[in-house]
Structure 1
């Protein structure tokens, strides 16, 4: 077991009905520092990532409640978490053991089944299948372990019983079981508050107490337990499944910012009670909301959602991932045409650069290739800066702008190839850019164009380029106008032509 040492603390003032809050601490694990710093909501600052084994880390993500289709708000969360996982694995050589919980027993699923006159298990299976298809379409890697609530009922029941036996939970007359927050002094440490108001129902002793087992109601699925018939509460499901897989402590626990309270707060409390420890999850990763317009969170209740297939009809998975990379994972991200067009243009800069490098390296110049120390220095500085940005709470936006600057400097050198020729450093920079984007999960695939289609486009672009050069020499405005029409027509078909180089190039505009 990882030993822990208190290093960060914080005190809160009295606010409204919040009762005096006991000083809370984030407990820094003993072990091996990774050099990474990540924001921790308990410490309210960036803290060092320390692992028991320097090359192995455990990670649990709260997965979907499968009662309906996923939307772009969900996509934003899971793509950003996928990016962070890829960073840990690809840049820091950490073997990440990933697990995700799927809530397939829940009030909303039962309600959807009743409304559609469908068994709740059929509803859950349908939407879970759809969820994994959506994630695959966004190039989100599947977790190594998928745990479904329906497959862990016995573990959950045992988890609840141990908390009851410890005196940290109580059974109510309707067969429900509530966690007694008054017996857990650290309750509220994730969101840094406690509410001393009146209980919200007759069965609860304290307002902040929460159900870890729900008593049976007619017409709803239920399971027999030693204290009565019923089904698991939402919060207890993740705690029991994570504990079964990873034991008494987990390195990373992730989800959307809306899960910080009450879901993650309750998970931490009941898990600490179960394992008799002061800290269960060492690092909480919370992703900011996706906003549809202004300050409106994208959610089904507001009826402002966009389905993932609808997103991919307009923009590619790479474009959406680039938008996620260019934002900070902890803060809200707005989804609108301006944001997506900016991401699309950024992606095109990378694509054009890589194509232009191939043209540059394979040109018909007669001079011999030389090294360019400044370019190699720029490359080394970019590599070093990337690592530092990622060590600082996974700052992918700074990484992208840093690499764009490297590309800009390299483009200037390539445009001077009539004087000097530096194929080695240029191709090394291109290889670095390709590798970096791949590590972030960018595939750089062109839109559904087969080899034959690409060859036809190459032929058309080459022909247009020859015509345009002749028109420029002869100052033939009519021919130049015709070339512009072809360029605009191709753009409407998601093919963007680059006329800024002596050799023609094109990329998918989607």
Structure 2
């Protein structure tokens, strides 16, 4: 491992290798294509244009895990944030990201843990590497283009360190450790420390609410990703991460996750209500269509500007929520009878945009998510569709009293009350099996799958 000691005067070669510009005084804008994104430059302390050599092959190095233990939410925070930025660069700004992620599969911690478990270091590293990949998949983190394991690149690593020593920027000790020679780096070494982590390894930490400490194995206050996903979904965690800047620490608590869950539930409910309106299953008063078109256009513009401003996801999400709030108010003016002008097109456009935005950052608002994806899923949907249609016909019969008035109508409704009670009982029973039926007046009923972790919530919540 390469360590750091002893400050001293700087040298031009290391400055140039680190891309710090002449004498380390300023940042030199590289040549290439401007992505249209401004990002925080930890050297200058300002936002600078993100310039890439070519947008069809943007190289990204991500420091991966040291695989000796279970991954926890601190890791999840970093990798989900990286994934969100990668998705934004790809899907919003047209960059084709080629990502390489290192896997440290030989290390003192790995050897120590392997000895404790009486297994080989290689076996232990392989086990936790695979578990890490499974955790990332569960969090919907896109895999890198290539994994680079330390054990597969030791000759290149040794050669690189030998080159640093040969140029006078590091030295070895009698025990075999190698240290940076900070006398050769001088007062510029702080810029090395400040620049590298913010770009590759530490976009902020996960802090435990009420404690001045970050989540870590050494503090014994960490939550494994697998345990977390027993209670909350990956979509909830992503929304939780989106509400803070990628460079800031996140304060973790159950209440903040519950808040994110409720927010996601509200978004999913809006999409389902808006879709029901488009399909004619939800009736409401006349809609201010011109106002909604204008809000949709301004939202699109504001969201892209926020993402271009150092990936300002909190601002982007709040802008989307504002659009949803105003559109939802239009749907809340429900009328009992259909008729009058309708505006399905604008709501269809809003649905499409809201779903597209959250899909871009890895969150699905679809109400019929399935794990298996096989033919049994299709069969399930068809059966539930038929069941809900049959139940709707029974309700409509129980509520209809054509031609009857006064006491006769009252008598008919009393006689049919058991049918309505049976419909209500069926709806409650279906909730037990993860299916929620919504009666939208007497004209239509819709259904959705519930998340088994929170029986009364929708998928992703």
Q: Aligning the two structures, in what range does the TM-score lie when normalised by the shorter sequence?
A: 0.7 to 0.9
Residue pairs, 1:188-337, within 5 angstroms: 188-190=190-192, 264=196, 286-295=202-211, 296-337=213-254
How high is the TM-score relative to the length of structure 2?
Answer: 0.76
More strand per residue: 1 or 2? 1
How high is the TM-score relative to the length of structure 1?
Answer: 0.69
Structure 2: unaligned runs, 5 residues or longer: 1-15, 372-376, 401-408, 451-456
Q: Distance in 2 between matches of 1:493 and 1:293?
A: 35
Match of 1:404 in 2: 321
Name which of structure 1's ranges 428-437 and 90-99 shifts more when overlaid on structure 2: 428-437
Does the CA-based 8 Å contact 2:63-2:201 persist in structure 1?
no
Residue pairs, 1:67-466, within 5 angstroms: 67-185=68-186, 186-190=188-192, 264=196, 286-295=202-211, 296-363=213-280, 372-415=289-332, 418-444=339-365, 446=368, 448=370, 450-451=377-378, 453-454=380-381, 459=387, 463=391
Match of 1:236 in 2: none
Match of 2:10 in 1: none
Match of 1:229 in 2: none
Shift of 1:75: 1.1
Specify the SS of the correspondent of 1:63.
coil
Q: Distance in 2 between matches of 1:84 and 1:350?
A: 22
Shift of 1:153: 0.7
Specify the SS of the correspondent of 2:64.
strand
Match of 1:58 in 2: 59
Does the CA-based 8 Å contact 1:382-1:406 persist in structure 2?
yes
Per-residue deviation, residues 145-189 of structure 1 (Å, max 9, x unmatched): 110000001101111111121122223233333221110132111
Shift of 1:31: 3.0
Q: Distance in 1 between matches of 2:55 and 2:220?
A: 45
Q: Distance in 2 between matches of 1:40 and 1:119?
A: 42
Distance 1:447 1:426, change over 3 A: closer
Distance 1:483 1:180, change over 3 A: farther
Structure 1: unaligned runs, 5 residues or longer: 8-21, 193-259, 266-280
Q: How many residues were matched structurally?
A: 407
Distance 1:467 1:76, change over 3 A: farther
Distance 1:92 1:294, change over 3 A: same
Q: Distance in 1 between matches of 2:313 and 2:298?
A: 16
Specify the SS of the correspondent of 2:223.
coil
Match of 1:25 in 2: 26
Q: Distance in 2 between matches of 1:100 and 1:313?
A: 27
Aligned Cα root-mean-square deviation (Å): 3.8
Shift of 1:483: 8.8
Distance 1:149 1:62, change over 3 A: same
Does the CA-based 8 Å contact 1:360-1:423 persist in structure 2?
yes
